[in-house]
Amino acid sequence: MPPILSYHPFKGIATLIFILSAPPYLALLSLIYSVRAFRPIRKWSFKTALGTAWLRLFYHYTVLVRLRPFYANPAKLKERYVLVHPGPSEIYTGVLNHDTIKPTPVPAIWFPKPPAGGEKAPVVIHFQGGAFVAATDPVETGELPSRIFKEKLGGATTFYAQYRVSRDDKTRFPAALQDAVTFYRYVLDQNVDASNIIISGDSAGGALVVALLRYIEEHDTLLPSPRGVMAWSPWVDISHDAPSRYKTTPRLRTDFLPLSLPKWGREAYSPVLRTEQTEPYLTQSTHPFATKTPLFLQAGTAELIYDEVREFAEKMKSIKGNDICYWEVQNAPHDIILAGGYTGFVKEAEEAAERAGEHFGLLG
């Protein structure tokens, strides 16, 4: 059952308290973190300590009030906005063939603009994180990753794909994965060769692109393999006991993810009935698989899900024929490709993207 603060008038009261209390709370932390010894990690900059605290506060509020997801505004974005319609029914098979959850039109944004015909630069399809339940303003959050991808991945254009977040029984798994297939098929239909497409995602979006890669491998006659896949801080363990395990990690105090966010995400995203067919797509950390596609996995050593990402990378590397690049960023909290501007890890995100480009055979 949703928390009482997600209903009006309580939601309005909680929002007012958040708006009034956040500035003095952050001002107090500013004084505390001005002394390096009081920062969660002594090597952190002042910006990292305060930015991480701000994001933790914001996501705590997001969970309490069940903040509505933000979607692209077609009137403002004009030709950059695309409403993508589902592809042919035969590409939604196996785990995507559901009795009540069906593919539906979903929005996306081109950064900086739609590619011109005949353009040779790569296209990055990027899926934003948010524990499968939250979606911040795509225009704002898409600026950093799209700029980095353009600079470090051979002048790439970014297709910022907004899959359905899980807010009811019709948007649980496999809704987001259906949307991922829809977006990939759409870009292919724009005369972009699969060898020129990189699929990317952060956090829950990172888990989604790994799931999409698994789906492509399992149904290789339906969709071609992309040039590469980038998973930034991927949430690869959406198991029942994952949130309880997070309680015991020392990284709980160094990351901005509150425990309530993955708990909400797991409850909302998990299918009503988990089966042998769905489990590899949900607990990916214990279900490595063979892939023909180069895979780039990134994790920060200060983030909540660091252990599971590292272990998943090791298991993927152990499979003969897999081409895996694991990139670890020391003392980084969660999701540097999206949140690096807040947490002071933009340079590290750029370096990671450059390494991914090398892994995929692209020049920066």
- Which CA distances in Å does 30 have to 21, 38, 51, 69, 340? 14, 11, 10, 30, 19
203 flagged as catalytic = yes
Contacts for 165 with CB less than 8 Å, ≥ 6 apart: 69, 130, 132, 133, 134, 135, 171, 176
Would you say 204 and 309 are in contact if contact means Cβ atoms under 8 Å apart? no
CB 325 within 8 A of CB 294: yes
Tell which residue, 82, 64, 86, 65, has the closest CA to residue 73.
82
Backbone angles phi, psi at 292, to 5 degrees: -85, -10
* 17 phi and psi angles, rounded to 5 deg: -60, -40
- From the candidates 166, 203, 239, 270, which is the catalytic residue? 203
Residues 131, 290: Cα–Cα separation, whole Å = 26
Strands (E), the chain: 81-84, 106-111, 123-127, 157-161, 197-202, 228-232, 295-300, 324-329
What angle, rounded to 10 degrees, do the helices at 346-359 and 143-152 form?
40
Cis status, amide bond into 9, omega within 30 of 0:
yes
Report d(CA 200, CA 227) in Å as an integer: 11
Cα dihedral 58, 63, 68, 74, rounded to 10, equals 50
Residue 139 CB coordination number (10 Å): 16
Helices (H) and strands (E) in the chain, counts: 13, 8
In this structure, are residues 326 and 297 in contact, taking their beta carbons and an 8 Å threshold? yes
Q: Mind telling me the catalytic residues?
A: 203
